[in-house]
Structures are given as C-alpha cells and as structure tokens.
Chains A and B, each alone.
Chain A
Amino acid sequence: MSEATLDQTTTTNAQPKAARFAVFGTSFLLGLVLPVTAGLLYEAAFRAGLVQARLLPPPSRVFTTLWKLAQSGELTTHVLATTVRVGMGFGLGALVGMLLGALTGASRNARRLLDPTLQALRAIPSLAWVPLFILWLGIFESSKIALIAVGVFFPVYLGVMAAIANVDRKIVEVGRVFRLSRLALVRRVLLPAILPDFIIAIRSGLGLGFMFVVAAEIMGASEGLGYLLVDGQQLGKPDQILAAIIAFAVLGKIGDWLIVVLTKPFLTWQDTHQRGA
C-alpha cells in the first residue's frame, strides 16, 4: 500500500529486456537441437555413401533447390499465390465464423435456429465439398477460396460461440448494473472478455486454412506451394517436394506468429499462470 511497495512491484514487472531476450534465445536454440542434429547426421551418412538418397535427398540438396527456386523468382510467385488464397479464405471464413458465432453465442433463439444446421454441416468432411464447389464456382480461384473459408469457418464459429456463452455472469452483471445498452455490453464487456479465446479460435482457424490450401492446390492449380508439391511428385523431384513443405512450414509459422504478436498488446491484462513464459 505504501509508496515503497508500489515502486518495488513496478521494477520487478519491468524485467530487463536483454535478460528476457536471452531466455527466449535459449529456448529457441533448444528447440532447434533435434531437427538440426538429425539433418546433420543424415547429411553425414549421405556424404559417407551410407544411404541411397534418391527418394530422400539430404538437407543440402533440399536447400539448394529452395535457393534456386528463390533466385529464379518462382518461389515468390508460388508463395504469393498461396498466401493470397489463404489470406482471402481465412478472412472470409473468420469473418463469417465470428459474426455467426457472436450471434449464436449472445442470443439463445439464434442458437436454436442456426446451430443445429451448422453442426450438421460441420459433420460433413470438408473435402467432400470439393466437387460441388468446382461445379458451382469453377476450377479457378473462387472454389479454392471457398474451400479454405469453409475450413476456417468452423473452428472460429465454435470458438466464438462457446466463448460468448461462457462469459462469467458476474462480469456481465457489472455491465447491467451500469446500465449498458446491448451494443455497449457487447463492445465493453463481452468482446474484451472473449478476446483470449477468440485469438485461440482464429489461430486454429488459420491452421486449418493452411491445411485446406494444400488440398485446394493439389486438386488443380498452376501456381502455389501445393502446385510445387504435385509438380515435384509428377516429375520425381523429392527435393522440390521437401522444399515446398519447408516453405509451407515457414509460412504457417509466420502467419501464426503474426496473430500472436499483433494481439499481444491487447492481452497484457491477462492473469494466467504462464505469464511472460
């Protein structure tokens, strides 16, 4: 309560940046130990002539292929195509999922009306839509984006609905006591309350978006990382397949990381057991 305690707590909170970065660096390096060691061992085995590397090329060859693709500008084209598809499908799916999730979460009547249908649709394996989407929307971009949007929609919808329905009554009552209008209640109480769950929902949505972009691009595309996969298979170039897989991994990780970093400033209030970890 005194000034002294106040100061003390403030300084402990402001952990030195360098120290935090060192901790982050260590854990990052630790995570690299396993894949790097495995890669080096395989590379060594290959150089020593111990393995026949026709079907599983060594890391050096995969990275050379990746480098060549990058230099020729092809990689940029493919990455860009995939990113645009995921971006549009994700944007569409997440937006609709968010709106419907908010509606069914906040209104019991809306839930009774919409949720059974949506749950039934969810039971359909999403890839089963592919033929229909192609019939309706053609083989080009629209059908791919639609498929990705469907994949992203469900985790976002479910996450938002559950989060809104589970907001603590006690917190909502605070809003009611201060006589917030319905809209103000959503804006000032419900939305901030569900933010952590919402972020988890869109992260899993983005994960599914990447899953479905592969499916969409495998089913027929002239560019995109999924096209690189198919092309590598047809031409018997496992190094190109692995290069595309690595590019997918990096792209997915960057997308996820962007969500985390962009939303972090809004979550500093959180009181969780792993704060700052």
Chain B
Amino acid sequence: MLTIDALCKIYPNGTQALEKISLDVDAGEIVALVGGSGCGKTTLLRMISGLEAPTRGHAALDGEVIDAPHPAVGIVFQEARLLPWLTVAQNIAFGLDHLPKDEQDRRVDEALLRVGLAGYGKRWPRELSGGQAQRVSIVRALVTQPKALLLDEPFSALDALTRESLQDHLLALWETHRPTLVLVTHDVEEAVALADRAIVLQPKPGRIFADIPIDLPRPRDRLSPEFAEAKRLVLKALDGSINQPHSHQAGRVQSPAAGGSF
C-alpha cells in the first residue's frame, strides 16, 4: 500500500506547493490526480518517486518511507525521456542491468509485443513517433515490475485518438502484474476511463479538494450514461477546486455508481 502522510513541500524560493497531503492508495488501485495547472500534481509525484524530498511529512510504500528513488516505484514523465544513444530495446532494458542477458531480452521482447512495437527494438529513439516513444517509456518503467507506477500526464502531448489507444495499452499492461498506478492528468475523460478514484487537487497551496470513487466495471464504455455521470461529477469538483482557491475546506463527493467501495 502507498501511504502519503501529511506531506508538505515548500520550494527554496518560498513557493508553498503542497500543504498537508494525506492519501492512501491500495495495492493494485488506480488513482487519478486531477487539478488545475500549478496545483502541485507534478510536485506530489516527484516526492512519491523519491526524486525530491518533502519539507514535512512523507510518502511510504508498504510502510517503508521513500527518501530516495525506490526500486519498487517507477515513474513515467510527461516527455518520453528516452536516452537517444540507446536503441529502443536498450532503453527498455535500462533498468534491468542486474538480470541475465537472456532474461532481459525476454522481457524486452514481450514488452515490445504488448505495446504493438514488435520489430522496433533496433530502432533509435529519433526514429519513433511521439506516441511510440511514450509507449516505450511506459514499458521501460514497467519491465522492472514495480509495485507502484507514477505517471505524470504521460499522454498529454498526444492527439485524442492516440491517447485513447495508449490508455487501453496502459490498462492492458496494468492487468498483468496489477501495480498501483498514480496517474496525473488534465483530462477528466482519461481519469474516468482509467481510475478507481479521482483525487481533485486545489491550488495555492496544493491540497486535496475531493476524493471521488469511480465504481464502473471494466472494460468501461465511454459512451454509457454512467461514464458521463462520473465525468460530470469530476468536472464539477474540478470547477469547484478552481473557483474557490482560498477555501481550506476539503470537499467530499459521493460515488456516482451505487454500491461503491465505501
């Protein structure tokens, strides 16, 4: 389980980016973090990944406090960040150095196959499209089989069609080992399509405004009325979070679908 406990972050320039964020994410759960620009989503993800230290509070995985990058926590950035001097296959194997070569190859081939890039292993990153590069970057994080994977707007630079197909890819990948996913997104549709819960953040300083369970069965039908209703709820909370930036009252919104996990 991923636990975030009263986490605060004040940047050296005095910006208070996060104030007392507390959040529990069950193993295998998919949580979407949504919120306006600058409300601290990236900051929160960087704290959980151990790339940056919180000012107060902490994040912990299965009780183990994260104070540096953790082997069981992977992260996918907004840009693919592939290493341009490694081939696609070498990029995917970047975190597998400790494994024997044939095991590395096996995992890389399987990963490429799963994201529809079989045969692309020998290419250079410059020979990939944006969507292909982002798929490689996702599997690079997943082949190490992390318990938790953090994704910071991984699809935001892509067009709507590609985005939708990558969302499906992500779900299919998640099915195999069921890691915990924490997904930052601007896109309410994406949050509702993927997540078990949408956490709406509020800016200045960043804190949790609403925690909205999304109890829709998978695979989800994006055209169903339940889907639309869930989207409406998240959107409404998002509007609320942006329009009352100085309220310290964290709202709580009920699940759109009956018989939720509460």
Contact residues of A with B, CB < 8 Å? 1, 3, 6, 9, 13, 170-171, 173-174, 176-179, 188-189, 192-193, 195, 266, 268-271
Contacts and interface: CB of A to CB of B under 8 A. Distances in A.
A1 B132 contact: yes
Contact of A269 (B74, B124, B132): B124
Contact of B85 (A9, A170, A176, A195): A195
Interface string B141-156: 0001000000000000
B116 A1 contact: yes
B174 interface: no
27 contacts: A1-B116, A1-B132, A3-B119, A6-B119, A13-B127, A170-B81, A173-B77, A174-B83, A174-B94, A177-B49, A177-B51, A177-B75, A178-B94, A178-B144, A179-B69, A179-B71, A189-B83, A192-B85, A266-B85, A268-B124, A269-B85, A269-B124, A269-B125, A269-B126, A271-B84, A271-B124, A271-B126
B69 A176 contact: yes
Contacts of A170: 77, 79, 81
Given A174-B81, A271-B124, A271-B126, 4 more contacts: A6-B120, A170-B77, A269-B86, A271-B125
A105 to B, nearest CB: 18
B240 interface: no
A125 B74 CA distance: 52
Contacts of A3: 119
A269 B90 CA distance: 12
A177 B69 contact: yes
B95 interface: yes
Contacts of B75: 177
A171 B120 contact: no
Contacts of A177: 49, 51, 69, 74-75
A29 B125 CA distance: 35
A222 to B, nearest CB: 47
A9 to B, nearest CB: 7
Nearest to B135: A1
Nearest to A184: B97
A178 B95 contact: yes
Given A176-B69, A177-B51, A171 B81 contact: yes
A176 B51 contact: yes
A9 B124 contact: no
A9 B127 contact: yes
